[in-house]
């Protein structure tokens, strides 16, 4: 999970520092027998299951879990190393898959756990609960301090959890991550119920539980840092080829792509276009001892880009998938820009009214698509407008609670936008009525 100090506040006098788990740090489970024993103890416990997983983001290519933390009332806490036990998870899955899981920022950890055959039957996400409750700070440390008056100190969330053996301070940190999750779940459920938002939260939790991993975005190579400094499509082809070669190598080695070859080196090679191994190795980074062994891979990528016919070069700008960037709307479609302005204002007012962030009320991309694709004339029957918005939001994956809140305000906002030509006519009629020329 993310570093627990994110969004943390300065401790106050009534906050109790939590430095070590109350029952001590459990031994790390590394064997099939250990998994079977833990599964039996967890089965004998009661209530929901606190779950966390530590990954090695920034160090490894995969999103796999390198440590799993579990805690259940009556069973205690467990630390599981899934690397040596990945093939032995069946007893654990049988024990915990039927349970309600409590996680903080569940969407980060669920994909890696799913790779091990571990899925929750019911989900409670304390981070998302904090957002729906209107908390300004939703990091684990901040919510724990606010609701339970417990301070979680600086940890090791950004560490390389693929390290073996794991240092004792890291294991202490990992055990603390699930130490208070069950109490936090109950506190957040009470908060949501008091605000009348518990049903909203349950819909969101279920959406996350069933969502699966995010789909890769197209043309990810275009996110290479400083790619806008390139001038030609041939240079873009070189970036694409080097990026893909790096991606393949990173996947094969299970190393973060940035640790295989930095973006800056890719851009430099695309600009300099080295034609020989010596020329490539004369560039910064490529001449280093770790890079020299991959020189043939990088040269092959550059040569493949050089040999492409013009018809296969990537376009200077990516093809439009969906609406353009909102900054260009006023020029390309002023009425759509007006609709987006009206919709955003209406959702902002609603956000303040219900104390839920705008991005949680409705996915911003869905709002943009609604406003860009809108074809209904202003002043149409409100039932027609409402039905059109309901259909669009439903097809875009908006949950029932979101549609219940946003459809009425969006219908009013979009139906009130006056086309530019109608606005000009109205101004002329008003001027005529007042005797102005």
Q: Tell me which of 312, 347, 380 is where a domain ends.
A: 312
Q: How many CB atoms lie within 10 A of CB 261?
A: 23
Q: Are residues 305 and 347 in the same domain?
A: no
- Nearest CA to 264 out of 243, 237, 293 is that of 243
Task: Confirm whether 24 is domain-assigned.
Answer: yes
Contact 73, 47 (CB under 8 A): yes
Residue 9 placed within a domain: no
Q: Are residues 47 and 93 in the same domain?
A: yes
| Distance of alpha carbon 89 from alpha carbon 84, whole angstroms | 10
Looking at the fold, whether 156 and 77 belong to one and the same domain comes out as yes
Q: Which whole number is the average pLDDT over 217-221?
A: 91
Taking residues 315-342, what's their average pLDDT?
A: 91
Question: Average of pLDDT values for 325-340?
Answer: 94
Q: What is the pLDDT of residues 95-128, one digit of tens each?
A: 999 999 999 999 999 999 999 999 999 999 999 9
- Residue 51, pLDDT > 90, answer yes
Q: What is the predicted pLDDT for the residue at 204? A: 98
| Banded pLDDT at 361 (limits 50, 70, 90) | very high
54 and 144 assigned to the same domain: yes
How confident is the model at residue 9, as a pLDDT? 41
pLDDT category of residue 1 using cuts at 50, 70 and 90: low
Q: What pLDDT was estimated at residue 221? A: 97
pLDDT of residue 32: 98
The sign one gets for the Cα dihedral 142, 145, 151, 156 is negative
Residues 121 and 142 reside in one and the same domain = yes
Q: How confident is the model at residue 214 (pLDDT cuts 50, 70, 90)?
A: confident
* Residues 26 and 125 placed together within one structural domain of the fold: yes
Say if residue 72's pLDDT is above 80: yes
Domain assignment present for residue 181? The answer is yes
Structural domain total, the chain: 3
Determine the 3-state secondary structure of 435 from DSSP: coil
Q: Are residues 118 and 191 in the same domain?
A: yes
Q: Which helix (DSSP H) or strand (DSSP E) does residue 102 occupy?
A: strand 100-103
DSSP for 7-64? Answer: T--PPPTTPEEE-S-TT-PPPEE-SHHHHHHHHHHHHHSEEEEEEEEE--TTT-SS--
pLDDT score recorded for residue 196: 98
Q: What is the domain extent for residue 254?
A: 220-312
Average pLDDT, the chain: 92
Any idea which of 143-157, 217-231, 417-431 has the lowest mean pLDDT?
417-431
Residue 10 lies in a domain: no
Residues 165, 296 within the same domain: no
Do the beta carbons of residue 243 and residue 266 sit within 8 Å? yes
**Residue 215, pLDDT above cutoff 90:** no
Q: How far apart, in whole angstroms, are the C-alpha atoms of residue 413 and residue 251?
A: 47
Domain contains 77? yes
Which tokens sit at 307?
A: 């040999």
Pair 53, 145 in one domain: yes
Burial class (CB in 10 A: 0-12, 13-18, 19+), 413: buried
Is the alpha carbon torsion for 369, 372, 378, 384 positive or negative?
negative
| Average pLDDT for 301-318 | 95
Residue 63's pLDDT is 87
**Is the domain of 141 the same as that of 26?**
yes
In this predicted structure, the answer to whether residue 185 has a pLDDT above a threshold of 50 is yes
The predicted structure's pLDDT at residue 285: 94
**Is the pLDDT assigned to residue 4 strictly greater than 70?**
no
Distance CA 432, CA 409 (A): 34
CA atoms of 424 and 276, how far apart (whole Å): 64
pLDDT of residue 421: 57
Q: Is residue 230 part of a domain?
A: yes
Same domain, 193 and 251: no
Contacts of 41 (CB under 8 A, 6+ apart): 75, 76, 78
The stretch 255-268 carries a mean pLDDT of 96
Specify if 432 maps to a domain: no
Q: Decide which of 187, 211, 235 is a domain's last residue.
A: 211
Is 362 domain-assigned?
yes
Q: 426: pLDDT confidence band, cut at 50, 70 and 90?
A: very low
CB burial class (10 A; 0-12, 13-18, 19+) of residue 194?
exposed
Task: Indicate the residue among 177, 211, 245 that finishes a domain.
Answer: 211
> Cα–Cα–Cα angle for 142, 144, 146, nearest 5°?
65
Residue 48 sits in the same domain as residue 188: yes
Confidence of residue 437 (pLDDT cuts 50, 70, 90): very low
Return the CATH number at 342: 1.10.150.80
């Amino acid at each position: 999970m993310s570093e627990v100090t994110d969004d943390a506040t300065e401790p106050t006098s009534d906050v109790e520092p939590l430095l070590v788990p109350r029952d001590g740090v459990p031994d790390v489970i590394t064997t099939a027998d250990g998994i079977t024993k833990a599964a039996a103890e967890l089965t004998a416990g009661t209530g929901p299951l606190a779950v966390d997983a530590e990954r090695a983001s920034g160090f490894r290519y995969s999103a796999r879990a390198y440590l799993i933390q579990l805690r259940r009332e009556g069973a205690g806490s467990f630390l599981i190393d899934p690397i040596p036990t990945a093939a032995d998870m069946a007893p654990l899955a049988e024990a915990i898959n039927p349970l309600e899981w409590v996680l903080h920022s569940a969407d980060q950890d669920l994909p890696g756990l799913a790779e091990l055959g571990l899925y929750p039957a019911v989900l409670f996400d304390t981070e998302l609960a904090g957002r729906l409750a209107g908390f300004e700070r939703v990091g684990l440390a901040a919510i724990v301090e606010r609701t339970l008056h417990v301070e979680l100190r600086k940890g090791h969330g950004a560490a390389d959890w693929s390290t073996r053996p794991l240092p004792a301070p890291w294991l202490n940190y990992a055990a603390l991550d699930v130490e208070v999750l069950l109490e936090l779940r109950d506190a957040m459920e009470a908060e949501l119920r008091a605000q009348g938002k518990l049903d909203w939260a349950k819909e969101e939790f279920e959406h996350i539980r069933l969502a699966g991993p995010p789909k890769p975005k197209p043309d990810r190579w275009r996110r290479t840092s400083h790619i806008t400094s390139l001038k030609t499509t041939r240079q873009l082809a070189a970036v694409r080829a080097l990026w893909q070669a790096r991606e393949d190598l990173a996947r094969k080695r299970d190393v973060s792509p940035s640790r295989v070859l930095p973006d800056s080196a890719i851009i430099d090679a695309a600009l300099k276009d080295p034609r020989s191994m010596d020329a490539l190795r004369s560039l910064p980074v490529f001449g280093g001892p770790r890079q020299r062994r991959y020189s043939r891979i990088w040269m092959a990528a550059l040569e493949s880009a050089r040999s492409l016919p013009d018809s296969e070069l990537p376009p200077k700008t990516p093809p439009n998938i969906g609406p353009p960037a909102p900054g260009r709307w006023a020029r390309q479609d002023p009425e759509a820009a007006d609709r987006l302005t009206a919709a955003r204002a209406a959702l902002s007012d609603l956000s303040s009214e219900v104390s839920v962030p705008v991005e949680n009320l409705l996915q911003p991309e869905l709002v943009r698509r609604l406003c860009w694709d809108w074809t209904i004339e202003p002043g149409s029957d409100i039932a027609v407008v409402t039905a059109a918005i309901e259909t669009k939001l439903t097809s875009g994956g908006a949950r029932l609670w979101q549609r219940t809140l946003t459809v009425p305000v969006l219908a009013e906002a979009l139906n009130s936008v006056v086309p530019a030509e109608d606005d000009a006519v109205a101004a002329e009629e008003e001027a005529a009525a007042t005797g102005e020329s």
